[in-house]
Amino acid sequence: MTQRNAIVTGAARGLGRAIDLRLARDGIAVAAWDLNVQDARETAELIEEQGGTAIGLGCNSAIAAEIAAALAETRDRLGAVTILVNNAALSPFRKFEEITEEIWDGLMAINLKGPFLCCLAVIPDMIGVGWGRIVNISSSSAQTGSSHQTHYAASKAGVIGFTKSLAMEFAGTGITVNNLPTGFVDTEGLREAPVDVDGFAQRTPMKRPGRPENIAAAVAFLVTEDADYITGHTLSVNGGRYLN
């Protein structure tokens, strides 16, 4: 393929921005989608300043109509989409007995329904060219459990199951589907969470948090031709927090 175009959701900051920057560095045209359209555009501007091709668009990836509108603009400006990184997510901390039905449904809409809707919208482009890469960002919390994050861990476990099933269904089409359970990565979101980041780091095998660039590098590999025989895989990037 001479041109690859990617959508990265949750691209305004943290992991999403790092993934966008890395994909663009590898010559991929990037559409940065996020609820925060101003910061999504800032991500695109950073890429263009470095000589890459990018657009920043506002999109709630849990709403089909917004996905359709953002996808139409992405296709119009970049072309068919052949890479999708489902990164947008909520990761709150809350006691189990304080999780209401509304809170549960809202989180599941972003974390689990969102990847489903985005895949449903984009896969036709991939089928049309006979090539595609889908990378879903899950979480080590789905592998280990996480106190005060029952809803979050459950949603990310769903992402892992969704990934494996989708990979099996499309394995013969030239589309691969994999997921990355991130673990303890030093982002703005982690620093805003009620976590003793430095203290927890000392209890992990590497005794330090990961960097967003570590996740971005793993995504960059999974979307290459070199990874064309890897699908349905759970690639844990967590510094040894959870050993597959």
* pLDDT at residue number 189: 63
* pLDDT at residue number 50: 96
The pair of structure tokens assigned to 90 is 């909520």
* pLDDT at residue number 133: 98
Is position 242 annotated as part of the catalytic site?
A: no
Does pLDDT of 190 surpass 80? no
Which of 152, 162, 170, 184 is labelled catalytic?
A: 152
- Give domain 5-227's CATH superfamily: NAD(P)-binding Rossmann-like Domain (3.40.50.720)
pLDDT tens-digit readout, 83-111: 999 999 998 889 999 999 999 999 999 99
Question: Per DSSP, what are the bridge partners of residue 57?
Answer: 33
Does pLDDT of 193 surpass 70? no
Rounded mean pLDDT, 16-39: 97
Asked if 137 and 85 touch (Cβ cutoff 8 Å), the reply is: yes
* pLDDT at residue number 241: 82
Q: What is the mean pLDDT of the chain?
A: 93
CA dist 176 and 178 (Å) reads 7
Q: Is 140 or 87 the better-scoring residue by pLDDT?
A: 87
Residue extents of the structural domains in the chain: 5-227
